[in-house]
Amino acid sequence: MKIPLTITQKGLTALIDAEAGTTNAVRIAEIGLSSVPFINAPTLEALPGEFKRLDSVGGEAAAENIIHLVAEDGSTDAYDVTGIGLFTDGGVLFAVFSHNAEEGLIFGKSESTAFLFAADITFQSGVAELIEFGDSNFLYPPATRDKKGVAYLASDADVAAGVDDEKIVTPKQLADHFIPLAQRGVANGVAPLGPDNKVPPAYLGAVDSIDTFTVASEAAMLALATAGPGDFARRTDELKTYVLTAAPASVLGNWQEFLSPGAPVRSVNGEIGDIVLDAADVGAADVARQILGGGLVTGGGSMAADRTLTVAIATAAETLAGIINNKAVTPASLASVLALLAAAVPGARQILTAGLATGGGALTADRTITVPKATAADVMAGTDDAKAVTVAALWGTLRSIGPSGHILLPGTPIVVMWGSGTHNVSHASKVYNFPTSFPAACWHVFTSLYGDPDTNDESDEFFYVSSRSQATFTGTTGGDNASFPFGFLAIGN
């Protein structure tokens, strides 16, 4: 295990003196053991909770800031250790380390066991060479290329990975993972590479001579029993040459077309001598032939020169706008549209209704929200609480607008009627009709005289409503025969 020690102030003073050359190197003679967790403070001069010291201590610098420390206790004591302290040969507490209560023990010892403590002590700076230890026969420092010590054996996986530089490879592992030198350059062994990074000819087998066969068909080519890898077959039926890449020759897949000419050129396009070919001779297009763009493609021209055909790319903004029709959408410009779609409302989202509204549902389909309308009859009845009253419904309720008319007050059962009539005092009582009948009852009738029933000759004429019903009211008067007009206003339900 690795233990980060805290050097005390007195220990630091001893190190500074040793580094300046005013004293010898700091010599560690004892290790103190503590069973009480404490704070690793440089101001400590005594080891808190110390219950034992061991003088069988050895150590050696494994690096400039690491010391490999070994301590031994062969007694029958049993104890648990949560902290340690290193003491110099002068009894000075040089350095300390402790686990806190949550971290638990550093180590423990039983009565029947001998204790051997080995740890790598780390320091913040390169002071390991300034520290010495007493003689010890049980020092086991980590092994390095320059120093004997203890090291782990590498596993096969470590050898295959080739990364860990602190483990040792055994001869068996070398034999399992590397080719023995005895197999170099021998039969059933491995051929070495020459200075040109190639296998020397001495290690190569003799090359078989290459044969060329002329056959009239594929079947004849597959029947070449004596053909070996590297041999050629010239097919007269299709004027092609094939090379055999692997045995046997009877497998068509082992033959590969050889693209080099199988024989010297005798003629070109049926012509010999100094040959000049035109476009028609080789089936080529005339240079006057044009390649032009259409649709989203622009550019082009005659074949007299290289031409470039271009498809303009819509930008992300143009793709989102969806206005132009002369550019192509690419995955990059489509990304903004896809991002917009990704931010759209999910199909599982619902539009629900409440109050007078009905319908709705998930957005996986078109939805209709409906508010039912009340009819004029519904308005007149005044009992339906699940419909909305429209202007048309109100207009269709009990009403008649004119000099003589009636109207239903919206939202109430109250009906107001009005009109006029002419009365003669000699009539005494006369029945007058309302513009229409009240649905339930007439509550009150108010009259207003438009003339003088006593014709200014008397003062005892009168006019009043003596009775009323749903459809009529009775006007009563007394006196002479004077005739006079009047108006009325009736309220009911």
pLDDT at site 457: 60
The answer to whether the beta carbons of residues 154 and 174 sit under 8 Å apart is no
DSSP state of 101: T
pLDDT at site 176: 73
Query: What are the beta bridge partners of residue 54?
Result: 31
End-to-end CA distance of the chain: 102
The answer to whether the beta carbons of residues 459 and 402 sit under 8 Å apart is no
Q: What does the angle CA 316 – CA 317 – CA 319 come to, to the nearest 5 degrees?
A: 65
Please spell the DSSP secondary structure of 237-296, one letter per residue: TTTEEEEE-SS-TT-GGGEEEE-S-SS----BTTB-SS----TTTTTPPPTT-EEE--TT
For the chain, state the CA radius of gyration. 59
Backbone angles phi, psi at 19, to 5 degrees: -70, -35
pLDDT at site 253: 95
Total Cβ atoms within 10 A of residue 60:
20
pLDDT at site 270: 56
- Can you tell me the distance from the alpha carbon of 374 to that of 384, in angstroms, rounded to the nearest whole number? 8
Q: Tell me the three state secondary structure of residue 474.
A: strand
Backbone angles phi, psi at 177, to 5 degrees: -115, -15
pLDDT tens-place values along the chain, 493 residues long:
677 889 999 988 988 887 777 777 888 889 999 999 999 999 999 999 999 999 888 888 778 878 888 888 888 999 999 999 999 999 999 999 999 989 999 889 999 888 787 878 777 667 777 888 765 545 555 667 766 666 778 888 888 888 888 788 888 877 777 777 777 778 878 888 888 989 888 877 666 678 999 999 999 999 999 999 999 999 999 989 999 999 999 999 999 998 755 455 655 665 645 567 777 777 677 778 888 888 889 988 888 889 999 999 999 888 888 899 889 999 888 887 888 777 777 778 888 888 888 988 888 888 999 999 988 778 767 788 888 888 777 766 667 888 999 998 877 889 999 999 998 877 689 999 999 999 999 999 999 988 776 666 655 667 889 999 999 999 998 766 678 899 999 999 9
Q: What does the angle CA 469 – CA 473 – CA 475 come to, to the nearest 5 degrees?
A: 150
- Can you tell me the distance from the alpha carbon of 79 to that of 47, in angstroms, rounded to the nearest whole number? 16
Total Cβ atoms within 10 A of residue 415:
26
Pick the CATH number of 399-492 from 1.50.10.20, 2.60.40.3080, 2.130.10.10, 2.60.40.3940: 2.60.40.3940
- Can you tell me the distance from the alpha carbon of 369 to that of 371, in angstroms, rounded to the nearest whole number? 7
Residue whose entry in the numeric block shows the structure tokens 């706008």: 321
- Can you tell me the distance from the alpha carbon of 155 to that of 161, in angstroms, rounded to the nearest whole number? 10
Q: Which two tokens stand for residue 226?
A: 């004596």
Half-sphere exposure of 15 (CA within 13 A, CB side): 18
What pairing do the DSSP bridges indicate for beta strands 152-153 and 167-168? parallel
- Can you tell me the distance from the alpha carbon of 309 to that of 295, in angstroms, rounded to the nearest whole number? 12
The answer to whether the beta carbons of residues 88 and 27 sit under 8 Å apart is yes
Backbone angles phi, psi at 156, to 5 degrees: -60, -35
- Can you tell me the distance from the alpha carbon of 29 to that of 88, in angstroms, rounded to the nearest whole number? 5
Total Cβ atoms within 10 A of residue 139:
17
Backbone angles phi, psi at 285, to 5 degrees: -75, 145
Q: Residue 94's closest CA among 65, 123, 119?
A: 123
Q: Residue 89's closest CA among 41, 35, 31?
A: 31
Nearby residues of 385 by Cβ (< 8 Å), 6 or more positions away: none
Number of helical (H) and strand (E) elements in the chain, helices listed first = 8, 33
* Residue extents of the structural domains in the chain: 2-150, 212-258, 399-492
189: buried, middle or exposed (CB in 10 Å: 19+, 13-18, 0-12)? Answer: middle
